Amino acid sequence: MSERPPAPAIAEIIAARLSRRSVLRGAAAAAAMATLPAGARAATASDPSSLTFAQAEHAIGVDHKVAPGYRAEVLIRWGDALRSGAAAFDPRTLNAAEQETRFGYNNDFLAFMPLPVGSLSSDHGLLCANFEYTNAELMFPGLDIKTKTQKLTREQVDVELAAHGHGIVEIRRTGGQWQVVADSPFNRRISALSTEIRLSGPAAGHDRLKTKADPTGTRVIGTLNNCAGGVTPWGTVLIAEENVDTYFGGDPNKTAEAANYARMGVKGKSRYAWSRFHDRFDVEKEPNEFNRFGWLVEIDPYDPTFTPVKRTALGRFKHEAGTVALTPDNRVVVYSGDDQAFEYLYRFVSTGRYDPRDRRANLGLLDQGTLSVARFDADGTLTWLPLVFGRGPLTAANGFASQADVVIEARRAADLLGATPMDRPEDVEASPATGKVYMALTNNAKRPADKLHPANPRAENRHGHILELAPPGAGKAGRARHDADRFTWNVLLLAGRAEDGARYHPQTAQFGKPLSCPDNVTFDNRGRLWISTDQGSAQARNNLPDGMYACDLEGKGRALPKFFYGVPKDAEMCGPCFTPDGTTLFVAVQHPGEDSVFDAPSTRWPDFDDRMPPRPSVVAITKADGGPVGT
């Protein structure tokens, strides 16, 4: 594709677009502030933020930390049993069958689904959690990072498979304390080892998805690398399959899918030992199996008999999130980023309409519709480019014989349409208050100075940024045209420190804290943005803690980040979600102690027991006085 204007023009454009914040600080912002209770307007008369909490210690440590006046309590950890009567957890003796009855590893996306279904209960519900990947060197003794794939046994590999996927647990708050409801009929595990998942949509049954084990191309065992996700208006969850290439061994150049697999990152050497014991993870032995991963999966947490479904109409790539919004006429829109440097933002718009009176009728809405990819232009507009077979270059002349080929090779189709390569598009969330869409771009240290773009304005972007996208009609709940062909966009913030070219509210140094590598985002009931961060191995180098930050999106405190919760050393912050009343914030602490090993971890959070390695866990954060989180 052709490149956008060179660096000097881009700098001017970015400055101009960032300056538009002043418009939002004018009369409309003043009106918004005037509606707030007096005690919620700011921590001090000169602090412009509506977030009144005293910030947590902004430092990296072996334990987690939370803002004063709040409680951060571990709700459930890797290895905790979903049924009563189970033996005490011991990772040294853990087997695959046992792992399938316990909470999985590296919890990521979280959703609180109230009970009963359709209610706004904030004291009783289902906690839905993704289990993205495994760190075998932290799960089992005697392993190191470099040689683990040669040392892992078949039983340990099967434990890893069983620790992937998704988990649903019933939880209840009694006397201010959240607890798992043991033996609930809702408690279940969806694993990569044994759970059968149905394929639906245009790619289901296609020859490129057929295998020896499934000659119909309609059933697949398991779901992999489940990162972020989303919740549908009819009460199901969407879970995203992200870095699925990391599990497959074998030489992709010996298959008919060589170019397709290369575009998705399969290099012939896996980070896992799975292909040593399971032929389906060897592309030479089962050349179509990889095409069965990289989708969004729909699960009904309220129905334990529901077979999860991979919705192929939503495209195949490295999905980060599957955020759902409604158009004014009740069509369903799903946003998803493709989490890799220089990849794209996608959107799906359903053909059918959501019916709030018929929950079951909505379960097929994600099988028919239009998948599009975003092009960001220098004038602040965003154009959605339909990925539809037969349109433009998506024809037989370019190797597409049907819509199935388009969705299977969504990345290549997006390349041909001229989509804008972004700086690792991760979470994409639509504000329920305004309909504006916020896109976390985590980082891209590989972006050279001669490949700058107005929506990706920094070379060697190590700290990331957040974009604000406005569909027509945005500003009032329910009126945003999420299906429109064109949006406008703005830069909300550029992360990092001042010396990194960061751009926040001008009073951030006085009242807020810098952040690096925005990842997942969510909104509280006041419409404020909560930002989780993931610097990976750069955390120590950046000397910035990962955790939860929050900022106003309107008013005088727009884009002024406050630090609320910090994860322990070497962990990542994931999955933030609130109860409907805003009095509990659930967060997922992923891979504490990463880059160390079971026998000598860098932290032993959360147990701090010499017999236990660090354990990824879900934390419930509440205010000591029981009020809404953040105020």
Query: What is the arithmetic mean of pLDDT over 94-113?
Result: 98
* Residue 90 binned pLDDT confidence (cut-offs 50, 70, 90): very high
Per the CB < 8 A criterion, the answer to whether 409 and 203 are in contact is no
Per the CB < 8 A criterion, the answer to whether 558 and 29 are in contact is yes
Using a pLDDT cut of 90, give the percent of the chain over it. 92
Query: What is the arithmetic mean of pLDDT over 584-610?
Result: 98
Q: Is the pLDDT of residue 420 over 80?
A: yes
Q: For residue 476, what pLDDT is reported?
A: 83
* Residue 36 binned pLDDT confidence (cut-offs 50, 70, 90): very low
Q: For residue 22, what pLDDT is reported?
A: 33
Q: Is the pLDDT of residue 26 over 60?
A: no
Query: What is the arithmetic mean of pLDDT over 614-624?
Result: 98
Residue whose C-alpha is closest to residue 580's, from 173, 32, 72: 173
Q: Is the pLDDT of residue 255 over 80?
A: yes
Report d(CA 254, CA 285) in Å as an integer. 10
Query: Which tens digit of pLDDT belongs to each residue from 171-188?
Result: 999 999 999 999 999 999
Using a pLDDT cut of 70, give the percent of the chain over it. 93
Query: Which tens digit of pLDDT belongs to each residue from 132-170?
Result: 999 999 999 999 999 999 999 999 999 999 999 999 999
* Residue 44 binned pLDDT confidence (cut-offs 50, 70, 90): low
* Residue 5 binned pLDDT confidence (cut-offs 50, 70, 90): very low
- Residue entry with tokens 């700058």: 452
Half-sphere exposure of 399 (CA within 13 A, CB side): 11
Residues 6+ away with beta carbon under 8 Å from 506: none
Strand ranges inside 140-256, DSSP E: 165-174, 177-180, 188-190, 196-200, 219-221, 226-231, 237-241
Q: For residue 16, what pLDDT is reported?
A: 37
Q: Is the pLDDT of residue 414 over 50?
A: yes
Q: Is the pLDDT of residue 11 over 70?
A: no
Range of weakest confidence among 18-22, 391-395, 568-572: 18-22
Per the CB < 8 A criterion, the answer to whether 364 and 408 are in contact is no
Chain-centroid distance of CA 238 in Å reads 11
Q: Is the pLDDT of residue 87 over 70?
A: yes
Per the CB < 8 A criterion, the answer to whether 261 and 283 are in contact is yes
Q: For residue 20, what pLDDT is reported?
A: 36
Per the CB < 8 A criterion, the answer to whether 200 and 154 are in contact is no
Q: For residue 268, what pLDDT is reported?
A: 86
Report d(CA 433, CA 526) in Å as an integer. 8
Rounded to two decimals, the pTM is 0.93
Q: For residue 42, what pLDDT is reported?
A: 44
Q: Is the pLDDT of residue 492 over 60?
A: yes
More reliable by pLDDT, 42 or 69: 69
* Residue 478 binned pLDDT confidence (cut-offs 50, 70, 90): confident
Q: For residue 564, what pLDDT is reported?
A: 98
Query: Which tens digit of pLDDT belongs to each residue from 288-347?
Result: 999 999 999 999 999 999 999 999 999 999 999 999 999 999 999 999 999 999 999 999
Query: What is the arithmetic mean of pLDDT over 94-116?
Result: 98
* ∠ Cα 16 18 20 (to 5°): 75
Per the CB < 8 A criterion, the answer to whether 549 and 55 are in contact is no
Query: Which tens digit of pLDDT belongs to each residue from 428-456?
Result: 999 999 999 999 999 999 999 999 999 99
Output 543-546 pairs: Cβ under 8 A, ≥24 positions apart. Answer: 543/60, 544/58, 544/60, 544/497, 544/514, 544/515, 544/516, 545/58, 545/59, 545/60, 545/61, 546/517, 546/571, 546/572, 546/573
Query: Which tens digit of pLDDT belongs to each residue from 48-75?
Result: 999 999 999 999 999 999 999 999 999 9
| Burial of residue 396 (number of CB atoms within 10 Å: 0-12, 13-18, 19+) | exposed
Q: Which residues pair with 161 in a beta bridge?
A: none
Mean residue pLDDT across the chain: 93
What would the 3-class secondary structure string for 347-363 be?
A: EEEEEEECCCCCCHHHH
Residue whose C-alpha is closest to residue 58's, from 582, 533, 553: 533
Query: Which tens digit of pLDDT belongs to each residue from 345-357?
Result: 999 999 999 999 9
Query: What is the arithmetic mean of pLDDT over 74-91?
Result: 97
Residue whose C-alpha is closest to residue 172's, from 130, 127, 128: 127
Q: Which residues pair with 259 in a beta bridge?
A: none
The encoded tokens of residue 428 equal 């994409």
Q: For residue 477, what pLDDT is reported?
A: 75
Segments making up each domain of the chain, as ranges: 1-52+327-362+381-400+416-501+536-563
Q: For residue 453, what pLDDT is reported?
A: 95
Q: Which residues pair with 396 in a beta bridge?
A: none
More reliable by pLDDT, 8 or 381: 381
